[in-house]
Homo-oligomer: A and B are copies of this chain.
Amino acid sequence: MGKKEILVLEDLLGSNNKIAADIRNQLTQKGILTINLLSSPGAGKTTLLEQLFTFLHPHYKMAVIEGDIETERDADRIRAQGIPAWQIMTGGACHLEAKMIGRLFPEIPPDLDFLFIENVGNLVCPASFDLGEHLRFVLLSTPEGDDKPKKYPKAFLTADSLVISKADLVPILPFDIDRAVREAEGMNPHLRTFITSSTTGMGLKELAEFLISRLKELRKNHA
């Protein structure tokens, strides 16, 4: 990158961070726990949200912001479950930015418990953009291979939770769960890891309970 590109990027990140801090502050005041989901395309973000809904509904209210380059496919899937969803189409851009979330803010019901933001399927760019979330999840699906954390470090370094998805496929794939988890937690010792499968239900109850406990903490700390 040249000097001009670096300056523009610094401007962009600085202004993004200010908007994100403001969004997080408002979400905290409203007591809405907000989770930003990062992964490669097809790692199972939308399916995970569909599954989590079955654990959270009807005791907790959730909504989803979907980020995609093109199509409304993911928001349509989420709405078909009866979950409110907004689709952001980036029209080519490789990540969501805080200002895109800010524009939707007036539409977000104030009585929500959980707001999930499904980022563009991309293990690289979204890691650099704070969206005002309280928690960042990185999904790593087993068919991608257990060597990914060090190859795509920023997503794993900035996440609060590592969700290994499609763990039911491990018996037929060359994926060593211990290796992947050891490598990711070695880079980021604060990571909370969940081994999950949306097909068998493995790990989903634990993940839902973790979210509920973090929601209670958020509300207790800002009561």
Contact = CB atoms under 8 A, between A and B. Distances in A.
A144 B69 contact: no
A129 to B, nearest CB: 12
A153 B94 contact: no
Contact of A125 (B42, B121, B125): B125
A122 interface: yes
Interface string A136-147: 000001011101
Interface residues of A, number: 37
Contacts of A124: 69, 94, 120, 122, 125
Chain copies in the assembly?
2
A69 B153 CA distance: 8
A48 to B, nearest CB: 13
B153 A40 contact: no
A187 to B, nearest CB: 10
B94 A144 contact: no
Contact of A143 (B1, B42, B125): B42
Interface stretch (A4-12, A78-86, A212-220): A4-12
A9 to B, nearest CB: 9
A148 interface: yes
A61 interface: no
A154 interface: yes
A122 B94 CA distance: 9
A152 interface: yes
Interface string A6-35: 001001100000000000000000000000
A73 B41 contact: no
A122 B144 CA distance: 12
Interface string A90-134: 001110000000000000000000000000111111000000000
Interface of A: 1, 4-5, 8, 11-12, 40-42, 68-71, 73, 92-94, 120-125, 141, 143-145, 147-148, 150-154, 166, 169, 172
Closest 10 CB pairs of A and B: A42-B144, A143-B143, A94-B124, A42-B145, A40-B40, A40-B41, A8-B8, A71-B150, A41-B123, A94-B125
5 contacts: A5-B12, A40-B42, A68-B151, A73-B151, A143-B143
